Amino acid sequence: MALYLNPNADAFQEDKKTRIYIDKSLLIAELNNIVSTKDDFVCISRPRRFGKSMAGNMISAYYSKGCDTRDIFSQMKLGQCPDYDKYLNKFNVIKLDLNELYQKSQTEDLGTDLISFIQKAVTDEFREKYPDLKFDSNSISSCILQVYKYLGEKFVIIIDEYDVLIREQVPLSLFNNYLSFLNVLFKGTTIRPAIALAYITGIIPVVRDKVQSKLNEFTEYTMLRSGHLSGYFGFTKEEVTDLCTQYGMDIEECARWYDGYRLTETIEVYNPLSVVSAMRNQEFGSYWSATGSFEALKDYIMMDFNGIKQDVIKMISGESVPVNVTKFQNTLQSITNKDNAFTYLIHLGYLSYDRKEKTCKIPNEEVRLEWINAIDDEENYAPIMEIINASKRLLDATVAGDTELVAKALDAAHTEVTSPLTYNDEYCFQSAICLAYFYANTRYTLIKELPTGKGYADLVLIPYLPNIPAMVIELKHNKSAGSALQQIKDKNYCQALSNYKGDLLFVGISYDEKTKEHDCKIEQLMNE
C-alpha cells in the first residue's frame, strides 16, 4: 500500500465514521470547476482544528486512483450534482502531511535531511507503481514529468500544513531547501500542465517576502478573505442549528461559546472541534483551547507595542478595536507592531476580523477565557485580572442593590482601563463599565447602544440563565445617577425587554470628572 502516491481512502472513511460528521463534499464540486485551468492552484489557511485535514482526506479519496469511492460519494451531497463523478478516482494523487513528516524527522534518525527524505519516500513509490519507466533521480517533479510525458497522466498534489517550517522557525538551511522544493514542484511552464490541481493548507497565508515568489500562482482563501469557499471550513450557522436540535442543546448558548467568525456578509462559522465536543459531552465549555497551549497567544499580547495593553483590555471587555491587516508579511519575524500581532492572532483564530469596519475582536466566550488565561499571573496585567476577578462580586452587588460597592468597583475599573490623558473621555468611561461587568458575559448577553424606546440604552443585559434579573444601565458624565435613572424611564428604554418576564433592574451610573468618583442608583421592578 502506498503512503504518499495514490493513497487509499482509509483516512477519509475513518473521518466519516466519527459520531458527528458534517458533509462538506460540495467543496469538491467547487474544485472540479477549476481542475486543469489557470486557477487550479489553491491555498487554504485556517486556524488549527477547523477541518483542513479532513477536507484533504476527502479530496484525496475523491481524486485518487488508489481507491474506488463511487459508492461513498454517490450518497453524499456531491452525489446530487449531475457530473459529480467527472474526475472521480481519475488522477494520480500525491498527498503529504508536512507536519507529520517534520515531526518524524525530529524524533527519528532519517539519515538525511527532511526534504531529501520526502523526495526519496515519494519517488520510491513512483518506481513501485511504474516499473517500466526509468526514474533517474529522487525528484518528485522529475517523476511527475516523466509519467505525464510518456503516459499523459495528470496529478493532484495535496500538501497539508505546508507552513509548518515557517511556524517552527527551522534552521535557515532547511528553510531554503524547502523553498527550492516548492519552486521546482510548482513553478515553471513545463510542469504546470502535468498538475490538474494543487491544494495546500496551512494556518498562516503565503509568506510574502520569500515564499510568495514560489507560490504566487496560488489563489489564497484566508481568514481575512475567504471568498466562495468560506462555508467549507468550520461549521456554518445552519449546520450548528441542526446539531443543536438533534442533540437538544441551546443554539444561542452554542453561538455565544463558539461563534464569532464572520467571514462574509452571509457566512459565519463556528469552531467545529468545540461544537462537536459540546454536543458529545452535552455541556458547553472550553475544548478548542485544550488542544493547544495559550503560550502562542501570550507571547504576542505581552509584547511591548504601543497601545497593545489598552486594546487587549477593550477586547476582553467585549469591544472591537481598529487593526491594519495589510502590512503583515505572514512571518513571525515581521511581527514588529500591534497591528501585525493582531493580524497574526486573526489567522490563529484568537481574534475575528470585520472587513467592512476594519476591526478585530475576541470572537466568543471560549476564546475570551483563553485570553484571560494568557494574562493571568502576568505583572503588567495584574490590575486587570483583579478587576475581572472582582467582576462577579460587582454583578452580585448590582443584583443585590448594593450601590456603594458598585460605585467603588467602578472607581477601580475606570482607573485601570484608562490613562491619565483619556481618563475623562466618555468612550473610555463606557469601556470601564463594560470591563467591570465582564463576568456578566457568563450569564447575560450584553448589548451596547441598543435602540429602544425614544433613544439608545447605553448597556442592556439580557439573561440567558433562569431566575436572574435583566438590566438596563444608563451612564451619565458629570451628572447625577438619579438623572440617569430618570432618562431610562422618560425614554422608555425598557421597551427592548417588553417580551421579558421577570425581575428588571434600572441601573443609573454617573461619573464626576472633578472628584473622579462614581455614583450609582438602582431600582427594581417586575416587567409584567
pLDDT of the residue at 197: 97
Q: What is the pLDDT of residues 83-127, one digit of tens each?
A: 999 999 999 999 999 999 988 877 766 555 889 889 999 999 999
pLDDT of the residue at 419: 60
What contacts 246, CB < 8 A, 6 or more positions away?
279
428, 511 in Cβ contact below 8 A?
Answer: no
Q: Tell whether the model's pLDDT for residue 293 goes beyond 60.
A: no
**What is the DSSP-derived secondary structure letter of residue 78?**
G
The alpha carbon of 105 is separated from its chain's Cα centroid by a whole number of angstroms, namely: 29
- d(CA 178, CA 176) in angstroms, rounded, equals 5
Which amino acid is present at 222?
Answer: T
What mean pLDDT comes out for the span 264-278?
A: 93
Maximum average pLDDT range among 167-171, 260-264, 274-278: 274-278
pLDDT of the residue at 445: 82
Better-scored residue on pLDDT, 368 or 301: 368
Alpha carbon distance, N-terminus to C-terminus of the chain: 70
Cβ atoms within 10 Å, residue 377? 9
- d(CA 14, CA 18) in angstroms, rounded, equals 7
* Least reliable range by pLDDT among 161-170, 188-197, 257-266, 469-478: 161-170
Q: What is the pTM of this model?
A: 0.83
Q: What is the pLDDT of residues 1-28, one digit of tens each?
A: 689 999 999 999 999 999 899 999 999 9
* Least reliable range by pLDDT among 168-172, 253-257, 456-460: 168-172
Q: Tell whether the model's pLDDT for residue 68 goes beyond 60.
A: yes
Q: Tell whether the model's pLDDT for residue 44 goes beyond 80.
A: yes
pLDDT of the residue at 12: 97
pLDDT of the residue at 383: 67
Q: What is the pLDDT of residues 436-475, one digit of tens each?
A: 787 787 788 888 888 877 888 888 888 887 788 999 999 8
